[in-house]
Amino acid sequence: MDQASIAIAIFLFTYALIMSERIHRAVAALLGASLLLMLKIVPWENVPDYLDLDTLLLLTGMMIIVNTAKKSGLFEYIAIKTAKMARGNPIRVLLLFSFVTALVSSFLDNVTTVLLLTPMLLYVTRLMELDPVPFLLAEIFASNIGGTATLIGDPPNIMIGSAAGLTFNDFLMNMAPIALVDLLLAFVFIYLFYRGELKVSSEKEEKLGSILNRMDEKGAIKDLRLFEKSVAVIMLVVVLFFVHDRLNIEPAVVAMFGASVLLVWSKESPEEVFEKIEWPALFFFGGLFIVVGGLVQTGVIEGIAEKLVDYVHTDAQALLLITWFSAFSSAIVDNIPLTATMIPLIKAMGAFFNNSPLWWALSLGACLGGNGTAIGASANVVVIGIAERERIKISFMDFLKVGMIIMVLTVGAGAAILWIRYMGV
Amino acid sequence: MSIFLTIINRKFKNIAGTRYERILRNYKEFFLTEEELSLPVIKSILMPVDRSTRNVPEEIYEVLSACEDAEVTVVYIMSEDACALIRQTLGEEASREFRQKEEEAGRELLERIARSLEDSGLKVRTRMFFGNKSEDVIRLSRERDLLVIPRLYGSEITKTRSISPVVMKIVHHVDIPVIVY
């Protein structure tokens, strides 16, 4: 058995373990990586080439900022404020929670966003005595769409940005308009699909408004000083992301700088903050980079790219292929391993095509493909998991019926925008 | 459990760990309880007063003013037993004098409180009669939504307790919400 076949076997074995969730995905990735290192398929001296430090440090920095800010009650404050602004009107609840979820998801990770907003959304729908499913689905779609908008919104974008050297503003220019159109499309679709279930009497709405008004968002702030410092640092980090290319600093440096400023300024215990970093996620990324590195090292990726060229002849075909392949694949497998695999492939395709639009096609497919099935993205799993804990049933088919349409609609609209932008009308 | 739910639960545990439970614990401080959620409909309020009631605190008027369209019955019950006791021990004249003074004090107090309640936008009815302070308040509260009672209502002149035994008895026997001030 040659090295390439072993690398493929280990890659498929790791993928299968990740999909089965029999063991933790981080452990599965680490097992695959260590097998490749043990068998010397990936030489030890090449490990730094495959470990994407930009991605790992950017994720670490943002985790520190989010975990520190979380202690101040910032996110509960946002959730309560959103609920109060909705004033018990179902359409406003749907619209505002979708918008806030998308906005927060575009700057923070989707899992944290939905974990923090879902309890409040469920509470409001319970008060309205309405079926929470349309609201939960809208939140999932908004989170995945919002994550598409920026470099830091979703892990695939961080990986793509790092691999292709794309800036925060590049993502804003290319992906944010698509995300905005898609958010609107998703909202209109959910409204039309569930419009019969989004009604409460005006009397009830008024009563709900007064009940929600009795919630004190300021009471959610556990530490006012930390709250103010967190908001200031998050704003500073966002501003730095906007100008990082002009200052010639990497996004990872911006995140690490923000994290260290917040730690110094807030005087929070570093042990406590570092303990809350999602180490399993970082090890998952690290392991995957090496597992995919095995395919690059043995020339498998290059071989696939050359084979693809036999069937794909133009940039436009490549754009459509990458978009739809990554969208449908991402609906089935985790978008992080998918992106990790696609990145070297697109790099290799750069020898034959203009790969600039292909990065956006990958971002579009990998981020929005997750909307297709209940297991397509982490936000889906978390919201459905919370729903299950609260005895709300969302079956695989329930999700699929709406999710697939949303996925095709949003990816289709995004692909059309990319086509117009890069291929002309 | 279906295969789908097993996968979701396994994935949820791997992705979120125990974070959801921690977040939910934080939220519980802000979510209103079942009791707080049900806004009681208050249409009629009973407000017994007597000589122990020097002033009704402003806060009571503020709270009651929130009950729009409610009618407040301010009632002054003169003790039948005290009147009988005076009649038996000091004679008919003393009893009449006691009755007269009680009625004057009651009328003045009822007018003052009624004015303040009307200023707060509430409909007011006043009643004054001889009876049993605890039994009559318990009886009248059966047809009301809220009882607002001074903590020293029906207390002896020496006022040895912070809440009078009459109030304690009333609170134990009524089924409606009570505000003791």
Question: CA-CA distance, A419 to A424, in Å (whole number)?
Answer: 6
**What is the strand order of the sheet B146-149 is part of?**
B123-131, B71-79, B44-49, B146-149, B178-180
**Residue A376 phi, psi dihedral angles, 5° rounding:** -70, -30
List of chain A residues whose C-beta atoms are within 8 Å of the C-beta of residue B30: 76, 80, 215-216, 219-220
Residues in chain A closer than 8 A to B29 (CB atoms): 219
Together in a domain, B29 and B44: no
Q: Minimal CA–CA distance to A121: which of A143, A94, A146?
A: A94
Cα gap A209→A349, rounded to integer Å: 56
Same domain, B66 and B141: yes
What are the tens digits of pLDDT across the range B7-42? 888 888 888 888 888 888 888 777 777 666 665 678
Picking from A77, A136, A396, A397 by the largest number of B CB atoms within 10 A of its own CB, the best residue to mutate is: A396
Q: How confident is the model over A240-244, as a mean pLDDT? A: 94
Alpha-carbon dihedral of residues A260, A265, A266, A272, nearest 10 degrees?
A: 30
What is the number of domains present in chain B? 2
Q: Is A26 exposed, middle or buried (0-12, 13-18, 19+ CB in 10 A)?
A: buried
Q: Are residues B125 and B89 in the same domain?
A: yes
Put simply, the answer to whether A219 touches B5 (Cβ < 8 Å) is: no
Overall residue count recorded for chain A in this entry? 425
Pair (B109, B62) in one structural domain: yes
Q: What is the pLDDT of residues A170-202, one digit of tens each?
A: 999 999 999 999 999 999 999 999 988 888 888
d(CA A319, CA A353): 10
CB contact under 8 A, B4 and A76: no
How far apart, in whole angstroms, are the C-alpha atoms of residue A59 and residue A278?
9
> Is B27 in a helix, a strand, or coil?
helix
Query: In this structure, are B69 and B1 located in the same domain?
Result: no
The mean of the pLDDT values for chain A is 92
CB of A114 within 8 A of CB of A379? yes
Asked if this assembly's ipTM is beyond 0.85, the reply is no
Q: How many CA atoms lie within 13 A of A81 on its CB side?
A: 12
Q: Residue B157 belongs to a domain with what CATH number?
A: 3.40.50.620
Torsion angle (degrees, nearest 10) of CA B13, B17, B19, B22: 90
Task: Give the model's pLDDT for residue B1.
Answer: 59
The neighbouring-strand residues paired with B180 are B149
Verify that B16 and B63 share a domain, yes or no.
no
Q: Find the range with the poorest average confidence among A149-153, B43-47, B49-53.
A: B49-53
Both tokens of A127, joined, read 């008060």
Please report the pLDDT score of residue B67 as a whole number: 80
Domain coverage including residue B2: 1-33
Residue A164 confidence (pLDDT) above 90: yes
Q: Which residues contact B102 (CB under 8 A, 6 or more apart)?
A: B51, B78, B83
Determine contact: A115 vs chain B, CB below 8 A: yes
- Distance between CA atoms of B143 and B140, rounded to whole angstroms? 6
Using the predicted structure, report yes or no on whether residue B92 has a pLDDT greater than 80.
yes
Instruction: Determine the Cα–Cα distance for residues A274 and A259; give it in Å rounded to an integer.
Output: 11
Alpha-carbon gap, residue A407 to A346, rounded angstroms: 22
* Residues A187, A370, A163: CA angle, nearest 5 degrees: 115
Q: How far is CA B28 from CA A14, A80, A368, B21, in A?
A: 40, 12, 33, 11
For residue B40, what are the CA distances in angstroms to A241, B35, B37, B127, B145? 52, 9, 9, 25, 9
- Please state the pTM of the whole predicted model: 0.75
The position carrying tokens 């990082």 is A244
Cβ-based neighbours of A424, under 8 Å, separated by 6 or more = none
Residue B84's pLDDT is 86
Q: Within the 15-34 window of chain B, which residues sit less than 8 Å (CB to CB) from chain A? A: 15-16, 19-20, 23-24, 26-27, 29-32
The CA distance from A64 to B4, in Å, is 33
CB B148 within 8 A of CB B179: yes
A290 alpha-carbon distance from chain centroid: 21
Interchain CB distance below 8 Å, B31 and A123? yes
Q: Is residue B162 domain-shared with residue B83, that is, in the same domain?
A: yes
DSSP single-letter state for residue B54: -
A80 lies within 8 A of chain B by CB: yes
- Lowest-confidence range among A192-196, A247-251, B116-120? B116-120
pLDDT of residue B39: 58
Cβ–Cβ gap B16/A389 under 8 Å: no
Contact A385 B9 (CB under 8 A): yes
CB atoms A119 and B11 under 8 Å: no
Average pLDDT on A205-219 reads 81
Picking from B2, B16, B24, the nearest residue to A385 by CB comes out as B16
Instruction: With CB atoms and an 8 Å threshold, state whether A381 touches B8.
Output: yes
Across all residues in chain B, what is the average pLDDT?
86
DSSP strands (E only) in chain B: 44-49, 71-79, 123-131, 146-149, 178-180
Q: Are residues B20 and B98 in the same domain?
A: no
Going by C-alpha positions, the residue among B35, B76, B45 that lies closest to residue B176 is B45
Do B110 and B124 fall within a single domain? yes
- Using CA atoms, how far apart are residues A203 and A157, in angstroms rounded to an integer? 45
The pLDDT of residue A237 is 95
Rounded Cα–Cα distance for residues B181 and B179 (Å): 6
Q: Are strands B123-131 and B44-49 parallel, antiparallel or unpaired?
A: unpaired
Q: How far apart are CA B38 and CA B32, in angstroms?
A: 10
Say if A244 is an interface residue toward chain B (CB within 8 Å): no
Give the residue on A whose Cα is nearest the Cα of B25: A119
SS3 A223: coil
Instruction: Report yes or no: B129 at the A interface, CB cutoff 8 Å.
Output: no
Same domain, B135 and B167: yes
Where b means 16+ CB within 10 Å and e means fewer, A192-229 reads eebeeebebeeeebebbeebbeebebeebbbeeebbeb
Q: Is B169 in the same domain as B142?
A: yes
Are B58 and B29 contained in the same domain? no
Q: Which of B11, B19, B26 sits opposite A375 (nearest CB)?
A: B11
Chain B partners within 8 Å of A388 (Cβ) = 5, 8-9, 12
